[in-house]
């Protein structure tokens, strides 16, 4: 029987992975049929946001042998750090396997997404003893998604869409095989939740606690919101336990009639929890260095630009839209929370605390602008929501079948309605997954056919021109990595990822992003006097100037060497010119 259950869960894991990877596989199938023959196929991920090349630049550093991460998207001299070290390590792993940075990124998804599904499968077995509820929990966790949203097209026809389509991590299809460092944070934090909270830490020796502390530091460095959420849960549990024991302690001291022996014995019982709490506190203290390190390193340029960008461009949660995007599972989970509190079923309290901490931190960081509030919704919130929703379904079912009916036909009617509701809910979830797949494949199809604009922004919304990429490859093969390149935003976003060079400006991690953007625009429009341009390039250590479509749009077709006679062309093709300063 156990082998059958294993086969069923293994099959479900394979099916869901196949569904989530399908858009990637679909895109690969179109690699030889681009609508514009002048474009070059590059397999990318999470198309809208310009962060993909940020991750790729760190992976490239690993494939080139670096052990710590440099910020190639800004020209200021600096030492390497452990920020985004995860992708440097991924690059080192890719190097041992002979993979390109793009393939190493996909390797991260391929390794971590099955681990996430295995972790979810394990949690369903922890919370539900019967196989039926385990399978139902697995299905609901992985399929739960947005309420349907009716969208009217320009021709008057209606189309079904999702709420918050722009936030990929809320989508049931995309989140299963999402961005590698977020997957790592989810897998690591739920693994820690099980060992530290669900399983009861008193079963662990201090020696066994060491790997968990190491993992905690890794989670903190890779995806801080996951560790912070876990801290919130642990501290809530510590507070509740302390408050409960203090209440008992005071009660016993008030009972003067009780014998000294019995009272001391019961007082001893109230302190039995202290070893548990001491281990939890020890975990927090010894895993906190990761967060402390990030706090201090992000006070130093260029890493401070991460915090500054969050402060000036916060990603706030549109709460009502987020709830609609989360879908029915959120409201079903609320019913599950209510039942667990009424029944005092403490096993489900960590899941309740996870949901509570997610929204508390999101609200807190709306005012403390150290981190974008929306990041806390990427900690795997769909997992506790799904488990609590199934707990609600389980409790309702047990009530229906255990209730004493005078007429069995009434029981059958309620059972039928219950099963119909669950089936319809699952059908809605799977339908919305189909909507997501259609949306993604339609986008990929349009991307494959697209031929304008020549160079887009955001960078990943179109495949790059081959000759444009040839210019970037020339930089890779003919310059050293510390040489600073000046380019407009799209080329500036691609160059660190594909040539490995440092750029003056190219991503939100750029120091003084807005000011540099204005300087870049002034330079390419030719509004800088010659002497000022020379000083500008020299002070910012710029050695190469990349000129292509976006840059020529700023200069209105004028040759930069006519505007700035000190520039010497060192590379030229129909789409790209590179000057040396």
- What are the DSSP calls for 326-338, one per residue? H-HHHHHHHHHHH
pTM for the structure as a whole: 0.92
- The whole-number average pLDDT for the span 43-62 is 89
Counting residues of the chain whose pLDDT is more than 90, the rounded percentage is 76
User: What are the strands of the beta sheet with 577-580, ordered from one edge?
Assistant: 502-503, 484-486, 542-547, 577-580, 568-572
Nearest alpha-carbon partner for 488 in 454, 447, 446: 454
Distance CA 360, CA 271 (A): 30
Residue 293: CB atoms within 10 A of its CB come to: 16
Q: Between these two residues, 243 and 215, which has the higher pLDDT value?
A: 215
Residue 202 binned pLDDT confidence (cut-offs 50, 70, 90): low
pLDDT digits (tens, 9 = 90+) for 517-554: 999 999 999 999 999 999 999 999 999 999 999 999 99
Q: Between these two residues, 313 and 133, which has the higher pLDDT value?
A: 133
Average pLDDT, the chain: 91
Looking at the predicted structure, is the pLDDT value of residue 263 above 60? no
Residue 199 binned pLDDT confidence (cut-offs 50, 70, 90): confident
Counting residues of the chain whose pLDDT is more than 70, the rounded percentage is 93
Residue 459 binned pLDDT confidence (cut-offs 50, 70, 90): confident
Residue pointed to by tokens 């990041």: 375
Nearest alpha-carbon partner for 85 in 174, 187, 167, 184: 184
Q: Between these two residues, 372 and 124, which has the higher pLDDT value?
A: 124
Residue 268 binned pLDDT confidence (cut-offs 50, 70, 90): very low
Q: What is the pLDDT of residue 334?
A: 97
- The whole-number average pLDDT for the span 19-29 is 97
pLDDT digits (tens, 9 = 90+) for 105-127: 999 999 999 999 999 999 999 99
pLDDT digits (tens, 9 = 90+) for 421-447: 999 999 999 999 999 999 999 999 999
Residue 579: CB atoms within 10 A of its CB come to: 21
Q: What is the pLDDT of residue 272?
A: 46
Residue 70 · residue 78 · CB < 8 Å = yes
Looking at the predicted structure, is the pLDDT value of residue 261 above 50? no
Looking at the predicted structure, is the pLDDT value of residue 259 above 90? no
For 152, residues 6+ apart whose C-beta sits below 8 A from its C-beta are: 158, 159
Burial class from Cβ neighbours inside 10 Å (0-12, 13-18, 19+) for residue 519 reads middle
Backbone angles phi, psi at 148, to 5 degrees: -65, 145
Looking at the predicted structure, is the pLDDT value of residue 32 above 70? yes
Distance CA 538, CA 104 (A): 36
């Amino acid at each position: 029987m156990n082998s059958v259950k294993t086969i069923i869960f293994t099959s479900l894991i394979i099916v869901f992975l196949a569904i989530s990877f399908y858009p990637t596989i679909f895109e690969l199938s179109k690699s030889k049929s681009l609508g514009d023959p002048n474009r070059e196929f590059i397999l990318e991920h999470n198309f809208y946001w310009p962060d993909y090349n940020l991750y790729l630049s760190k992976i490239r550093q690993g494939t080139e042998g670096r052990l710590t991460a440099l910020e190639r998207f800004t020209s200021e001299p600096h030492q390497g750090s452990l920020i985004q070290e995860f992708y440097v390590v991924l690059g080192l792993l890719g190097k041992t396997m002979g993979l390109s940075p793009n393939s190493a990124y996909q390797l991260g998804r391929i390794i971590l997404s099955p681990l996430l599904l295995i972790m979810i499968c394990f949690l369903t077995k922890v919370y539900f003893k019967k196989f039926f509820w385990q399978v139902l929990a697995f299905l609901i966790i992985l399929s739960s998604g947005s309420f349907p949203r009716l969208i009217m097209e320009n021709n008057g026809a209606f189309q079904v869409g999702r709420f918050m389509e722009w936030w990929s991590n809320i989508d049931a299809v995309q989140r299963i095989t999402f961005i590698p460092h977020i997957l790592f944070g989810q897998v690591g934090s739920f693994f820690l939740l099980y060992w530290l909270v669900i399983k009861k830490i008193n079963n662990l020796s201090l020696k066994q606690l060491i790997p968990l502390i190491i993992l905690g530091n890794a989670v903190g460095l890779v995806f801080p919101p996951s560790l912070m959420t876990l801290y919130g849960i642990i501290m809530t549990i510590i507070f509740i336990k302390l408050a409960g024991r203090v209440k008992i302690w005071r009660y016993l001291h008030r009972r003067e009639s009780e014998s000294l022996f019995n009272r001391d014995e019961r007082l001893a019982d109230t302190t039995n929890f202290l070893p548990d709490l001491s281990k939890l506190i020890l975990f927090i203290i010894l895993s906190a260095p990761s967060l402390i390190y990030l706090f201090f390193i992000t006070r130093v340029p260029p890493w401070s630009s991460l915090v500054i960008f969050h402060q000036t461009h916060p990603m706030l949660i549109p709460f009502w839209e987020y709830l609609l995007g989360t879908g029915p599972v959120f409201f079903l989970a609320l019913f599950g929370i209510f039942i667990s509190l009424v029944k005092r079923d403490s096993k489900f309290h960590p899941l309740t605390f996870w949901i509570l901490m997610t929204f508390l931190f999101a609200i807190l960081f709306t005012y403390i602008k150290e981190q974008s509030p929306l990041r806390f919704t990427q900690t795997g919130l769909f997992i506790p929501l799904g488990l609590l929703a199934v707990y609600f379904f389980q409790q309702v079912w047990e009530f229906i079948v255990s209730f004493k009916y005078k007429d069995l036909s009434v029981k059958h009617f309620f059972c039928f309605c219950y099963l119909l509701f669950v089936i319809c809910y699952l059908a809605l979830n799977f339908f919305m997954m189909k909507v997501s797949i259609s949306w993604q494949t339609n986008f990929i199809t349009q991307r494959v056919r697209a031929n304008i604009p020549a160079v887009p922004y955001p960078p990943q919304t179109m495949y790059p021109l081959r000759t444009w990429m040839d210019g970037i490859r020339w930089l890779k093969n003919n310059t050293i990595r510390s040489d600073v390149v000046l380019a407009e935003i799209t080329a500036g976003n691609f160059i660190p990822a594909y040539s490995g060079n440092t750029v003056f400006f190219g991503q939100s991690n750029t120091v003084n992003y807005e000011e540099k953007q204005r300087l870049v625009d002034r330079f390419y429009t030719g509004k800088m006097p010659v002497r000022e341009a020379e000083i500008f390039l020299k002070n910012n250590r710029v050695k190469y100037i990349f000129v292509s479509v976006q840059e020529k749009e700023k200069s209105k077709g004028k040759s930069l060497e006519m505007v700035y006679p000190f520039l010497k062309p060192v590379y030229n093709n129909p789409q790209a010119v590179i000057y040396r300063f």
